[in-house]
Amino acid sequence: MIHNQRIDPRTKLWMVTCLSTLAVVIKDLPLLIGISIITFSVSLWLKSPLWLVMKRLKSLIFLFATMVFLQSIFSHEGNGLIRIGSLMLLTDIGLIKGIMVMLRMFMMIMCGTILMTSSVRVLIQGLIQLRIPYELAFMVMIGLKWIPLLSQEIRDVLTAIELRGIAIKQLPIRKKIKLYHYMITPVLTGTIVQAKKMAIAMTCKGLRVCENRTSYFVLRLKRLDYVIVGLSTCVFIIFLSLYDG
């Protein structure tokens, strides 16, 4: 899906690198919220398919929420919010850590949608012109295709469960958690099978037959690209300076 080709893919790669690095390094909630807002704004500005991706991943929202809850439960720092007898179930620090985990996951999804505004061919060319080996660049692009493949596998598994007469929406929370736990193995197995088929197809098409590959398609940076790279670098430095570690 191509929406915005005015910006060089290398510029988008630099923006994504800066934003994702900040998301991983910074552990301060207000700063992380600020980075999330910037990432969301960039994704909307590039007219990325963010809402389409979020719609496809809506079946994972419950799984994300469960991960956040578990993250908050196993952190016993801070003041207690929910307590059962002597057992501390939820603390304010644990809740903050869970929210930060959720923000990081959604930021990674938004960074992926930013790269989806360029075609795979353009992104591969951008990586090649960054002196990255063609095979490695191709592997990165396959990795970007992993999210749609994973969502398709999840939909197939959910359809198979519903065809067996199980109403997932009517199940209690405990059984839902158990059901999603059982879903992990078939989803990952199906994804691995699809990856093996893709590897066979690439081998049949002669990937890595020749050491040197040439291309008539050459990317050139424009003035707007230099401006965006400069702004991204400034944002990266400012947020790192605001974060005291």
Cα-based distances in Å from 215 to 12, 56, 102, 134, 241: 21, 35, 41, 12, 41
Query: Tens digit of pLDDT for each residue in 29-76?
Result: 889 999 999 999 998 898 888 777 777 666 666 666 776 667 666 666
User: If pLDDT is split at 50, 70 and 90, which confidence band does 235 have?
Assistant: very high
Residue 209 burial by Cβ neighbours in a 10 Å radius (0-12, 13-18, 19+):
exposed
For 213-233, letters b (16+ CB in 10 Å) and e give eeeeeebeeeeebeebbeebe
> Which amino acid belongs to residue 98?
G
Please give the angle made by the CA atoms of 148, 150 and 153, to the nearest 5 degrees. Answer: 110
3-state class of 85 per DSSP? coil
Residue length of the chain: 245
The residue among 93 and 22 whose pLDDT is bigger is 22
Q: Which of 141, 148, 176, 123 is nearest to 54 (CA)?
A: 148
First to last CA, the chain: 39
Cα-based distances in Å from 187 to 60, 151, 159, 192, 194: 12, 9, 12, 9, 11
Q: Report the chain's mean pLDDT, rounded to a whole number.
A: 78
Is-contact 215 159, C-beta < 8 A?
no
Which range is most confident: 55-59, 88-92, 139-143, 192-196?
192-196
Tokens matching residue 44: 């909307």
Q: Is the dihedral of CA 166, 169, 170, 173 positive or negative?
A: positive
Tokens matching residue 210: 């020749």
**pLDDT at res. 188:** 77
> Which of 38-47, 101-110, 136-145, 167-176 has the weakest average pLDDT?
136-145
**pLDDT at res. 133:** 78
Residue 191 has pLDDT above 80, yes or no: no
Is-contact 126 13, C-beta < 8 A?
yes
Q: Which of 189, 190, 109, 121 is nearest to 152 (CA)?
A: 190
> Which of 15-19, 100-104, 136-140, 160-164 has the weakest average pLDDT?
136-140
Task: Give the number of C-alpha atoms closer than 13 A to the C-alpha of residue 162, restricted to the C-beta side.
Answer: 9
**C-alpha Rg value of the chain to the nearest Å:** 21
**pLDDT at res. 3:** 39
Residue 215 has pLDDT above 90, yes or no: no
The two counts, helices (H) then strands (E), for the chain are 10, 2
